[in-house]
Chains A and B, each alone.
Chain A
Amino acid sequence: MDERESLAVDVYLDGLLARRGGARPAVIPTAADLPPAIVSTAELLDRSLQRFHPSFLFEEGLAQRLRAQAEGRLLPAPPGRLLTFPRDLGPDHEDGDRRARSLLVGGAIASGVSLAGAALLARRRGRGPAVATGSTRGAGTVTMRRGL
């Protein structure tokens, strides 16, 4: 088993594998000079060793995880960008701006809810149950508490 024969086997394998896709190799190597056992084994492996594909669910799930990871890495939300709100974002704004805006909107909503909650608590302590709607009650209470 010398290097020359290994080279001949390698050339033969190149031709064998090139036929898989239906393509005809430019030079079809001859197997005549190779040991028949090697040739028959190579042809058997060519038929037997197939490529497997992962399940659709796995492939799509990993694609999603890669996408999420890439977005987290490639599209960070710079802290300074939060100050740009409520600037009107044009059609060609960057994703970073969109992310910053949604973060700030979320923060504003959270702050509003907190304020309304604090106001409701203060009103209940001071006056008992109220009959106003949530929004008007919260706003009125804030005004009242500020006036105090």
Chain B
Amino acid sequence: MEAARRDHGAFEALYRRYVAQVYSFALYETRDPHAAEDLTEQVFLKALQGLPRFREQGDGDASTFRVWLFRIARNALSNQRRWTRRHPTATLDDALAIVATDDPEAEVVKREVMARVRAAIERLPEDRRRALTLRFVEEMSAREVGQVMGRSEGAVRVLVHRALGSVAEELGGSRPS
């Protein structure tokens, strides 16, 4: 991290490592590839500007840089939503529609399942949806999700648990007791 402060090559390594994670988070949140790109750009430009103020508090897998990066993303997302609230956006399906495949039949089935899953997730309250995205897509621990969302680890566990229950119910399963 100290190297990234002094040397842009080191920052670029961090950028390459996290760009897909930030982009995915942005895509799941905005459901619009262009908005996701805009948000990704904002996040990394802000991270570059804010790097001198960032203090690493972990090491290796416990690095707090990723949490800091996603906090920037969360704030940028809030700002972007204020701007785009009145504008219609494309759906995540548009992004998936360009995926090529060698097995069209299997791909159709897979897309139908994914469409149902995404529809169920989109109906979740924002905090549950975000917790689920960070947990499954970004593979963050409950502790990391809590740091990004400003919640306790226990609160995130309950959020994820409830989100799973809601999705299960939407998909036809029974809500667990």
Instruction: Check A66 against B48 for contact (C-beta < 8 Å).
Output: yes
Contacts of A13 in B (CB 8 A): 135, 160
Q: When chains A and B are docked, how far (Å) is the Cα of A53 from the Cα of B161?
A: 27
Q: A interface vs B, CB < 8 Å?
A: 1, 3, 5-7, 9-10, 13-14, 17, 20, 35-38, 40-42, 44-46, 48-54, 58-59, 62-63, 65-67, 69-71, 73-74
Grouping DSSP codes into helix (H, G, I), strand (E, B) and loop, the B interface class, with mixed when no group exceeds half, is: helix
Closest B residue to A17 by beta carbon equals B139
CB distance from B17 to the nearest CB of A (A): 12
Whether A49 touches B141, Cβ cut-off 8 Å, given contacts A67-B12, A70-B11, is no
Q: When chains A and B are docked, how far (Å) is the Cα of A41 from the Cα of B41?
A: 33
Q: B interface vs A, CB < 8 Å?
A: 6, 8, 11-12, 15-16, 19-21, 23-24, 27-28, 36-37, 40-41, 44-45, 48-49, 95, 113-114, 117-118, 121, 132-133, 135-139, 141-142, 154, 157-158, 160-162, 164-165, 167-169, 171, 173-177
Instruction: Check A69 against B20 for contact (C-beta < 8 Å).
Output: no
Instruction: Check B24 against A10 for contact (C-beta < 8 Å).
Output: no
Instruction: Check B136 against A49 for contact (C-beta < 8 Å).
Output: yes
Whether A49 touches B117, Cβ cut-off 8 Å, given contacts A41-B167, A62-B40, is yes
Contacts of B15 in A (CB 8 A): 62-63, 66
Q: When chains A and B are docked, how far (Å) is the Cα of A125 from the Cα of B95?
A: 67
Contacts of A45 in B (CB 8 A): 117, 132, 136, 164, 167
Instruction: Check A1 against B173 for contact (C-beta < 8 Å).
Output: no
Instruction: Check B173 against A37 for contact (C-beta < 8 Å).
Output: yes
CB distance from B64 to the nearest CB of A (A): 19
